[in-house]
Structure 1
Amino acid sequence: MKEPRIAVLLGGTSAEREVSLGSGKAAAAALSKFFEVDVFDLQSYAELPGGLDPRRHVVFSTLHGSFGEDGTAQALMDEAGVYYAGCDAASSALTFDKVATKAKLAEAGVPVPAEIVFENGELPLASTIVSVLGPSVVLKPVAEGSSVGLQFAEGETEITDCLEKCREGRWLVEPRIAGKEVTVGIVQGEALGVVEIRPLNGRFDYESKYTKGMTEYIAPAEISADLSERIRKLATHAFEACGCRDYARIDCMVDTGGNPYFLEINTLPGLKETSLLPMSAALFGYNFDELLQKLVEPALLRYRDGNSSS
């Protein structure tokens, strides 16, 4: 049986297109050291790219955001008989919805922050938010990534101003947890190193995430070995509870008392060499090229198993 080519999907038309282009180009460069690689820049939400052949391609997608990360592209690949790396359609759809993810994690015993959810412009009163969650809160879209739409507010006046920007779509309000923000990669079911995120302005929003020099990353996180191990175990449990496969990156806050609260699961995390998943993997001895090989391995096995009679 002939080895498949790796089809790297990048771009798309979501709000995260530029992030996806960076991830895709870096991933393609690394994978091309070991495999024949074809790169597809998607310009449409509606369909898979022409030239993608289930008989000769295994897909490695870096399509962040809508279509690529919400289960739509995965369902289309399943329908077309295309093997692909990463979470399947069901777990991708689940984890793209922060509210559904948190509900599943809470059911599995993974600690999550309290929340208020609203949609279609039916805005809660700022006074209600303060009474339930406290005066310091975070507002975020239920189904976006890369910190798109993320807002921070202190007190009723700021909360009211932020709510006015949330009149379309579905939104989530959580208490702003004082403490450390950390993230951990999961690769083939194993939790890797815990990385601490320290935005200089105290807010890990889109600007802090993608503006050079605005955030400091501490790898490994400056937390106790016991807490690190607890976070890794809970992250693995979260990964399994949401039916994830292959790899993901899981984010959480640790309050000043050392209690972790899990925020979300990123099934197609950023994949430039300086991204958080590669930082987490480096703590377990993987360089970037080795990590990319590891990420695509399970999909190659599924392809070989599915084509073993050909």
Structure 2
Amino acid sequence: MKIGFCFDCKEDYGYTSNDLSFCDFISPTAITFVKESLEKCGHKVTLVGNYKKLLESLKQDNTFDLIITAAEGIQSRNRESWIASICELHNLPYAGSDAYTLIVTLDKILTKLIANYLNVPTPNFIEIASMEDAETLLFDYPAILKPNYEGSSMGVKLINSKEDLLEHAKLLFEKYSDKLILEEFIPGKEITVSIIEKDGSPYVFGMVESLQHNNEIMPIYSSEIKRIYGCKKILPRISAETASLLKDYAIKMYSYLRCNDYCRIDFRLDKNDNPYLLEVTPLPALSETASFMMAAKLNNINPVDIFNDILNNACCRFDLFPKT
């Protein structure tokens, strides 16, 4: 099968490799890992690039059996949906969730409202649409402040006072130019749940707990920790009851949002190990060391098998298998 791999790099948008302002783009190492893993599944892989390069490729009548994407786009609340939208417009099969799901899940507030509707616990929160909102709101500290439409922990700050809130809200409005979300701080473990589909049924293939290098719980999982300082990823130190709750909540969110093929869902546990949903990420980082794939490594699952299941499920959805 001929697969087109879409992705964008910082250089596509004029950012340097060490700039954390917009840091959810894939690294060269991860591009190589994904390409080689797909090739080990027996497919021919073409490195396409970002949405502009996909459009150029389609104009040149380059054909693909399937597209898989790690492209995030930039500075738009619809940015993660660009590749999926292009594929839908050109009747081109693709792995992963559709444009609508990608738009909804990038909106942290909307995702949390859906979680509330489904009785999936999520930290209390308030929307901040302007500095006037920030100046007048009442909230308990510490709290977590973040842009509503960004990923990879970009702009995430631990806020300890009203003065702290006003300082960082001003900086985030200047940098990301959209509304913010102030969220209750949950002090416990950071857990990610990795999901893939097999024969149209989602299941959790693994979970990861992220720690500081000194084995302490991270107060926040910031972009600096993800991209510069790093962290440890281990099998979660949780009870069977907590693990069951995490799986149930993750599958409930995945199914209601109509995610496809694969997804990572992030939780924070309180001091009693009660789970609270943070985000749903149907476009997770696919690098070998990212939480989604580390869930495979920690459970002795070959990453190639994960990619193979993702592709097979997408092929089933688009009826791409040869007729017998």
Q: Give the shorter-chain TM-score range.
A: 0.7 to 0.9
- Tell me how far apart the structure 2 counterparts of residues 21 and 122 of structure 1 sit (CA, whole Å): 42
The answer as to whether partners of 1:278 and 1:287 remain within 8 angstroms in 2 is: no
Shift in Å, 1:194: 1.9
Q: Given the two structures, how large is their TM-score scaled by the length of structure 1? A: 0.87
The answer as to whether partners of 1:116 and 1:129 remain within 8 angstroms in 2 is: no
- Tell me how far apart the structure 1 counterparts of residues 24 and 62 of structure 2 sit (CA, whole Å): 25
Task: Give 1:1-310 correspondences, 5 Å limit.
Answer: 4-11=1-8, 13=12, 15-16=22-23, 18-19=25-26, 21-33=28-40, 34-42=42-50, 44=52, 48-51=55-58, 56-66=64-74, 70-125=80-135, 128-130=137-139, 134-167=140-173, 168-188=177-197, 189-200=202-213, 202-212=219-229, 214-218=230-234, 220-305=235-320
The AA in structure 1 aligned to 2:2 is R
Q: Which runs of 5+ in 1 are unaligned?
A: none
Q: Which range moves more in the overlay, 200-209 or 16-25?
A: 16-25
Shift in Å, 1:122: 3.9
Structure 2 vs 1, CA of residues 39 and 17 (structure 1 numbering), >3 Å: closer, same or farther?
A: farther
Shift in Å, 1:18: 4.1
- Tell me how far apart the structure 2 counterparts of residues 208 and 237 of structure 1 sit (CA, whole Å): 29
The answer as to whether partners of 1:10 and 1:21 remain within 8 angstroms in 2 is: no
- Tell me how far apart the structure 1 counterparts of residues 69 and 205 of structure 2 sit (CA, whole Å): 21
Identical amino acids, percent of aligned pairs? 24
SS at match of 2:46: strand
Structure 2 vs 1, CA of residues 266 and 22 (structure 1 numbering), >3 Å: closer, same or farther?
A: farther
Q: Calculate the aligned-residue CA RMSD, in Å.
A: 2.5
Structure 2 vs 1, CA of residues 138 and 17 (structure 1 numbering), >3 Å: closer, same or farther?
A: closer
The answer as to whether partners of 1:8 and 1:61 remain within 8 angstroms in 2 is: yes
Match of 2:17 in 1: none
The answer as to whether partners of 2:70 and 2:283 remain within 8 angstroms in 1 is: yes
Structure 2 vs 1, CA of residues 121 and 26 (structure 1 numbering), >3 Å: closer, same or farther?
A: farther
Shift in Å, 1:43: 6.8
The answer as to whether partners of 1:192 and 1:283 remain within 8 angstroms in 2 is: no
1:78-105 residue CA offsets vs partner (Å, 9 max, x unmatched) = 0101100000111111111111111111
Q: Given the two structures, how large is their TM-score scaled by the length of structure 2? A: 0.84
Shift in Å, 1:37: 0.7
The answer as to whether partners of 2:147 and 2:179 remain within 8 angstroms in 1 is: yes
Q: Which range moves more in the overlay, 108-117 or 34-43?
A: 34-43
Structure 2 vs 1, CA of residues 62 and 264 (structure 1 numbering), >3 Å: closer, same or farther?
A: same
1:6-27 residue CA offsets vs partner (Å, 9 max, x unmatched) = 1111115462464355433321
Shift in Å, 1:41: 1.8
- Tell me how far apart the structure 2 counterparts of residues 296 and 53 of structure 1 sit (CA, whole Å): 23
The AA in structure 2 aligned to 1:104 is I
Shift in Å, 1:241: 1.5
Structure 2 vs 1, CA of residues 17 and 125 (structure 1 numbering), >3 Å: closer, same or farther?
A: closer
SS at match of 2:171: coil
- Tell me how far apart the structure 1 counterparts of residues 138 and 172 of structure 2 sit (CA, whole Å): 14
Q: Which runs of 5+ in 2 are unaligned?
A: 14-21
Q: Aligned pairs, how many? A: 299
- Tell me how far apart the structure 2 counterparts of residues 106 and 54 of structure 1 sit (CA, whole Å): 44
1:162-194 residue CA offsets vs partner (Å, 9 max, x unmatched) = 122133211111011111110010100101222
The AA in structure 2 aligned to 1:216 is K
Q: Which range moves more in the overlay, 182-191 or 300-309?
A: 300-309
Shift in Å, 1:231: 0.5
Structure 2 vs 1, CA of residues 221 and 92 (structure 1 numbering), >3 Å: closer, same or farther?
A: same
The answer as to whether partners of 2:268 and 2:275 remain within 8 angstroms in 1 is: yes
1:212-240 residue CA offsets vs partner (Å, 9 max, x unmatched) = 5x31111x201111111110111111111
